[in-house]
Amino acid sequence: VNLIGFDIGGANTKAAYIATRNGCVEQTVTASEYFPIWKHPEKLAATLKRLTRKVAMAKHLDLVAVTMTAELADAYETKREGVNRILTQVENAFPSTRILVVDVDAKLRAIEEARREPSKVAAANWAATGWLAAQLECDCVVVDVGSTTTSIIPIKNGAIAAEGKNDLEKLILGELVYTGSLRTNVAATVNVIPTAKGLTRISSELFAQSADVQLILGNISQTDYTVETPDGNGKTRAAALARLARVVCADTEMLNEAEIVHIAQYVYEAQVKQIAEALAQVCNRLKNKPNDLTVVVTGLGRNFLAHKAALQAGFAEVVDLGELVGGDVARVSTAFAVALMGASYLEGGVIRWTR
Amino acid sequence: VNLIGFDIGGANTKAAYIATRNGCVEQTVTASEYFPIWKHPEKLAATLKRLTRKVAMAKHLDLVAVTMTAELADAYETKREGVNRILTQVENAFPSTRILVVDVDAKLRAIEEARREPSKVAAANWAATGWLAAQLECDCVVVDVGSTTTSIIPIKNGAIAAEGKNDLEKLILGELVYTGSLRTNVAATVNVIPTAKGLTRISSELFAQSADVQLILGNISQTDYTVETPDGNGKTRAAALARLARVVCADTEMLNEAEIVHIAQYVYEAQVKQIAEALAQVCNRLKNKPNDLTVVVTGLGRNFLAHKAALQAGFAEVVDLGELVGGDVARVSTAFAVALMGASYLEGGVIRWTR
């Protein structure tokens, strides 16, 4: 079967096309587009069509499967409104293709059902990713670090053991950490920063984001920096250094490069610590010791954030999804999972997907 | 003499016109305009001219006196560039009027001097405010809470006793706290929020700002909410509640009004605590006990943030600048101080200014 899985985030829309035959994935093509939905919610359909041309070319599609987190975007008054408006855009993009929507129980629902119970399909991205990882490891914890947020998904006896059924519950339980590889405001990550002159308070503006930190530290390349810069300037290291200096109300005349790199390192470690703490919280609830469990890392930040956090939380065994399916697929593993869920639904059985 | 003092902030430009005679202020007219300089730095001159028409009508001006903090805005690569480009805009607005610029020693400098040493005039707003307060109380601490930032300015023996000479030093010493009445991102103010279901992590987006918190709590009115809303929606209480719910990835269907008010109260108290801690830090350095010193509160947040923080830090005597010069003038007390500095310079002596 041929189908596309979409992961419609607030800032990035990700697509994975897969072609399967006899229970095996024969082809995978993925793409991701920076699409800040709060700016132009009505242009989502066009974005989906553009991504489709990229990943599926003109091939016939048996199904379009969707998950979303974009309903939280402040273009929508409530999640109910967000889910419904997003589903309308999906229908506009695919008027004659069957559409299914992932729910928080990792099942696929018809679009009318999804509209009736929007809280069941809002922010169900983790359910798709968890469903995928459960096929890999019966007992593990998934750490999926995207551009904006981190999902931590416990898997027990081959089933998702997450307790939070919505974002608020997940923020409390440690299953969602609102920190990511690219879009996280540095001012929301740390309260103070140690500098040569002393511990300094910081500006509360959006002067620099995690992409600047990761670029300065060499964790991402300029081509990985797929989102807008906070000041509209370039994605060079020099521009990132200027942005980060501004966080302590300084500039590149007041602070030298080493001093700004020091700030980047501090912010980076704060991100790692946030993820490690949430991972420990989830692990405690499962009553598992870190060395009983494997951590499966995925998403753009799977190495420099997820893997590092897993080690900090005391886990010894870490599986990188990128080594199983390739880095490009691992970056959009939720969209890939959604596609696989669709293929499994259509073929009526498990689909083999690791290389 | 007739003159205008300008306080050119990053987000708001404030103007105070004063007419003085024989060492007394005879007339004061003030105005403030939301002007996010990072969006259109080239439109500052037009903004200054618009404010001038408002406060001075067509009257002849003997002087234009200026202080700025807008050089930190990310439209400028460095503060040097910011100061110079801002001064060019001031010159464009007033091609045939004498212009003087406040420096960090609370002196007025010619524009060429200011251009030569931009670090001496960058973010010197506190020096003007301190100069004003020193005429009121020989030993006091000024707490000036604006829309975006809070300045804490110690006055000792009638002179400014601030130690930090730039924003970075002030952030370290507690003389600058990057929190304010309107524009502060809630995500930069707190890391977690207690809810009925438990302590919750929060989103790192700009979903809600301090103006939403203060509006919900009744600390400001809709007309005080002079800045843009984070989601572009209205300035009603209902819209502010929806924005604040989003900070814990919820909406107004998931949380009721009382629960969101509870969040607002928590964020508000965190702001007060930040200011109180900085005030205590400044006070400790002066080796003064809180009950030896008067706190002079000014700015838009002088009551609900500055006054409350002063009480929390143990100060018993608080003077509200608004009661001396009226609330409208106290809201733009830095611009008023700049104008008074100019008048004092031209008249060659102290100007009496309290009612």
pLDDT in tens, A135-175: 999 999 999 999 999 999 999 999 999 999 899 999 999 99
ipTM score for this prediction: 0.96
pLDDT for B287: 83
Determine contact, residues A7/A147, Cβ cutoff 8 Å.
no
pLDDT in tens, B235-293: 999 999 999 999 999 999 999 999 999 999 999 999 999 999 999 999 999 887 877 89
pLDDT for B249: 97
Burial class (CB in 10 A: 0-12, 13-18, 19+), B13: buried
Q: Considering Cα of B183, then B34, then A245, then B164, what sign does the dihedral take?
A: negative
pLDDT in tens, A304-349: 999 999 999 999 999 999 999 999 999 999 999 999 999 999 999 8
A204/B195 CB distance under 8 A = no
Q: Which residues of B touch A199 (CB under 8 A)?
A: 172
Q: Which of A91, A7, A23, A12 is nearest to A343 (CA)?
A: A23
Mean per-residue pLDDT of chain A: 96
Burial class (CB in 10 A: 0-12, 13-18, 19+), B254: middle
Residue A231: both structure tokens together: 């000041």
Does residue A312 sit at the B interface (CB-CB below 8 Å)? no
Through-space distance between the first and last CA atoms of chain B, rounded to whole angstroms: 19
Tell me the average pLDDT across A60-65: 98
Report the chain B residue with the minimal C-alpha distance to residue A248: B168
Please state, in angstroms and rounded to a whole number, the distance separating the CA atoms of residues A104 and A227.
28
- Provide the shortest C-alpha distance from residue B208 to chain A (in Å): 10
B172/A199 CB distance under 8 A = yes
Determine contact, residues B226/B32, Cβ cutoff 8 Å.
yes
DSSP state, residue B97: S
Q: Which residues of A touch B278 (CB under 8 A)?
A: 201
pLDDT in tens, B86-114: 999 999 999 999 999 999 999 999 999 99
Q: Which residues of A213-233 are buried (b: 16+ CB within 10 A; e: fewer)?
A: bbbbeebbeeebbbbebbbee
Residue A112: both structure tokens together: 């009318």
Nearest-by-Cβ selection for B198 from A172, A206, A207:
A172
Q: Phi-psi category of B59—alpha, beta or left, where left has phi over 0 and alpha has psi -120 to 50? A: beta
Please state, in angstroms and rounded to a whole number, the distance separating the CA atoms of residues B336 and B94.
19
Through-space distance between the first and last CA atoms of chain A, rounded to whole angstroms: 19
Q: How many CB atoms lie within 10 A of CB A42?
A: 12
pLDDT for B290: 79
pLDDT at A243 over 90: yes
Q: Name beta bridge partners: B176.
A: B151
Does residue A84 sit at the B interface (CB-CB below 8 Å)? no
Mean per-residue pLDDT of chain B: 96
Which of B 3-32 lie inside 8 A of A, CB atoms? none
pLDDT for A355: 65
The one-letter amino acid at B324: L
Please state, in angstroms and rounded to a whole number, the distance separating the CA atoms of residues A191 and B185.
13
Residues in chain B: 355
Nearest-by-Cβ selection for B179 from A204, A232, A243:
A204
DSSP-based three-state secondary structure for A220: coil
Q: Which residues, at least 6 apart from B201, have a Cβ–Cβ distance to it below 8 Å?
A: A171, A172, A174, A176, A177, A178, A278, B191, B192
Interface size A-B, in CB pairs within 8 Å, comes to: 156
pLDDT for B355: 65
Please identify every stretch of chain B with a pLDDT value under 50, giving residue numbers as ranges: none
Overall pTM > 0.80: yes
Kind of pairing between the strands at A294-298 and A317-320 = parallel
Residue A261: both structure tokens together: 């790199």
Q: Which residues of A touch B204 (CB under 8 A)?
A: 148, 178-179, 184-185, 188-189
Determine contact, residues B268/B217, Cβ cutoff 8 Å.
yes
Burial class (CB in 10 A: 0-12, 13-18, 19+), A5: buried
A202/B78 CB distance under 8 A = no
Q: Name beta bridge partners: B142.
A: B153, B296
Place of tokens 């692990």: A283
Determine contact, residues B228/B148, Cβ cutoff 8 Å.
no
Does residue B112 sit at the A interface (CB-CB below 8 Å)? no
Which of A171, A177, A189, A259 to mutate to probe the B interface, most B CBs <10 Å? A171
Does residue A206 sit at the B interface (CB-CB below 8 Å)? yes
pLDDT for A122: 97
3-state secondary structure A258-293: HHHHHHHHHHHHHHHHHHHHHHHHHHHHCCCCHHHC
Q: Which of A140, A167, A132 is nearest to A151 (CA)?
A: A167
